[in-house]
């Protein structure tokens, strides 16, 4: 069956696909969304660090005010293990309310799902896309259920995991895997995030509400426990990651203390561990005629600088703005897609390059590099303009 439509089709109702659909509607452009998972099975334990720029986008869509459980990051402490050099970024010093925000992925997707429903945007859950056929006047999407849908523009926001993914134009395997879980520390987080570089890879602690108050404790103790909760992203070599993740809790907490140090006192509790292989894969937005890729479908980055998701949101926002500025019968044509790719290039390649630089320069044990890194951190600590530059890049991306 061929369901011919003039609406834009979005593949994937993850945060990037959902934001794209809402932003298109604000521009007066109609979009339909196909999501592989069912409406009620969207659980995901990932934690996202949102930049200030991402907050502004969610604000403009009326989503930000509805998010519960957002933890602002007001300070970031950056250090390297076994060498000199510490840099501290502070929101006060930079004159912004927060350097970033920590949010469970599941909270964001649930609120976006509700916003899509309230906006009467047509989202079909449980509709996995098996194949996308590019075309001159329209592209055709084939679902796993055997349907064919045509659209003047197909926006692929499937996180890059679908069968529709082309071979990346650039790929780097860092031989690193992220071990992620929630941990509770002896000292309260006071909204401070930590980034600690080690030769095996960076370890990050992001402050967030938690759920490790022992059963039966009073509300006061529960609130206290939340103030000591962090999302941990511990990057390890591939060969070590599964072993670390499988350690019993006590051994895991002790190994984490040795790895991270005692800045937050002891590590008291650890939640269930998950592992994610880390790599850089840049596919680019130009998939084929009448097809554009955004978010993780276009670029997958190492989480060290928290850039991946924020770049994805800017992809969605800019694509929707461009569609709004384009005549209806020119949406999805070659000129529009080339303009989109040109417009996104600096931000995407800037973010990917910045992230790749951090991973490669900080993940090794060469003595001269260790000293150079120490000097770099000291310079970052001492030079306000450099601090402002780095913070701005983290908050708003390469186009500042």
SS (H, E, C) 173-187: EEEEEEEEEEEEECC
State how far the Cα of 295 lies from the Cα of 205, in Å rounded to an integer. 24
Comparing CA positions, the residue from 376, 223, 394 lying closest to residue 305 is: 394
Q: How far is the CB of 378 from ligand FAD (least distance, A)?
A: 26
Under rule CB under 6 A, residue 46 binds ligand FAD: yes
Q: How far is the CB of 385 from ligand FAD (least distance, A)?
A: 25
Q: Which is nearer to ligand FAD, 80 or 355 (CB)?
A: 355
Q: Which is nearer to ligand FAD, 309 or 317 (CB)?
A: 309
Q: For residue 47, what are the CA distances in angstroms to 108, 215, 303, 306? A: 10, 24, 11, 10
Are 314 and 53 in contact by the 8 Å Cβ rule? The answer is: yes
State how far the Cα of 395 lies from the Cα of 400, in Å rounded to an integer. 8
Quickly list DSSP for 195-221. Answer: EEE-TT--EEEEE-----SPTT--HHH
Helix or strand holding residue 55 (H, E)? helix 52-60
Under rule CB under 6 A, residue 16 binds ligand FAD: yes
Q: Which is nearer to ligand FAD, 46 or 88 (CB)?
A: 46
Under rule CB under 6 A, residue 14 binds ligand FAD: yes
Backbone angles phi, psi at 393, to 5 degrees: -65, -40
Q: How far is the CB of 50 from ligand FAD (least distance, A)?
A: 7
Are 291 and 268 in contact by the 8 Å Cβ rule? The answer is: no
Under rule CB under 6 A, residue 207 binds ligand FAD: no
Residue identified by tokens 């992809």 is 315
Tell me the number of residues near ligand FAD by CB under 6 A: 33
Under rule CB under 6 A, residue 35 binds ligand FAD: yes
Quickly list DSSP for 328-356. Answer: GGGTTSHHHHHHHHHHHHHHHHHHHHHHH
Under rule CB under 6 A, residue 128 binds ligand FAD: yes
Q: How far is the CB of 84 from ligand FAD (least distance, A)?
A: 27
Are 229 and 190 in contact by the 8 Å Cβ rule? The answer is: no
Instruction: Pick one of 158, 195, 200, 356: the residue that binds ligand FAD (CB under 6 A).
Output: 158
- Per CB under 6 A, the segment of 7-15, 75-83, 357-365, 375-383 that binds ligand FAD is 7-15
- Per CB under 6 A, the segment of 22-30, 45-53, 87-95, 346-354 that binds ligand FAD is 45-53
Under rule CB under 6 A, residue 235 binds ligand FAD: no
Under rule CB under 6 A, residue 161 binds ligand FAD: yes
Draw the binding track, 282-311, toward ligand FAD (x: CB under 6 A; -: no contact).
-------------xxx-----x--x-xxx-
Q: Which is nearer to ligand FAD, 208 or 370 (CB)?
A: 208
Residues 174-203 that bind ligand FAD (CB under 6 A): 178, 180
State how far the Cα of 119 lies from the Cα of 32, in Å rounded to an integer. 12
Q: What is the number of residues in the chain?
A: 400
Interaction site with ligand FAD (CB under 6 A): 11-17, 34-37, 46, 48-49, 128-129, 157-159, 161-162, 178, 180, 276, 295-297, 303, 306, 308-310, 312
């Amino acid at each position: 069956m061929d369901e011919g439509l003039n609406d834009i089709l979005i593949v994937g109702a993850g945060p990037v696909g959902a934001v794209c659909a809402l932003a298109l509607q604000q521009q007066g452009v109609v979009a339909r969304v196909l999501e592989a998972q069912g409406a009620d099975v969207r659980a995901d334990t990932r934690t996202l660090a949102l930049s200030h720029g991402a907050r502004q986008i969610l604000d403009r869509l009326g989503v930000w005010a509805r998010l519960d459980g957002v933890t602002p990051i007001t300070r970031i402490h950056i250090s390297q293990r076994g060498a000199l050099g510490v840099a501290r970024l502070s929101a006060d010093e930079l004159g912004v309310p927060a350097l970033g925000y920590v949010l469970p992925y599941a909270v964001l997707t649930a609120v976006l799902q509700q916003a899509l429903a309230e906006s009467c945007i047509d989202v079909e859950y449980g509709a996995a896309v098996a194949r996308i056929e590019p075309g001159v006047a329209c592209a055709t999407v084939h679902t796993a259920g055997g349907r064919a849908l045509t659209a003047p523009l197909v926006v692929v926001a499937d996180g890059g995991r679908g069968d529709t993914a082309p071979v990346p134009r650039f790929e780097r395997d860092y031989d690193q895997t992220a071990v992620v879980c929630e941990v509770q520390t002896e000292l309260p987080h006071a909204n401070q995030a930590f980034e600690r570089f080690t030769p095996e890879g960076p370890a990050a602690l992001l402050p967030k509400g938690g759920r490790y108050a022992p059963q039966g404790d009073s509300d006061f103790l529960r609130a206290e426990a939340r103030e000591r909760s962090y999302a941990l992203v511990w990057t390890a070599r591939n060969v070590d990651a599964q072993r670390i993740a499988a350690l019993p809790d006590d051994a895991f907490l002790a190994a984490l203390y040795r790895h991270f140090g005692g800045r937050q006192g002891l590590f008291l509790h650890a939640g269930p561990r998950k592992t994610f292989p880390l790599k850089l894969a840049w596919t680019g937005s130009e998939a084929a005629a009448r097809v554009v890729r955004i978010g993780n479908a276009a670029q997958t980055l190492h989480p060290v600088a928290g850039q991946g998701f924020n770049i994805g949101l800017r992809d969605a926002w800019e694509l929707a703005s461009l569609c709004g500025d384009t005549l209806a019968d020119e949406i999805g044509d070659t000129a529009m897609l080339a303009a989109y790719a040109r417009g996104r290039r600096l931000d995407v390649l800037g973010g990917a390059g910045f992230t790749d630089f951090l991973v490669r320069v900080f993940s090794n044990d060469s003595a001269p590099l260790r000293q150079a890194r120490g000097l770099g951190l000291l310079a970052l600590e001492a030079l306000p303009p450099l601090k402002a530059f780095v913070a701005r890049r983290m908050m708003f991306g390469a186009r500042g």
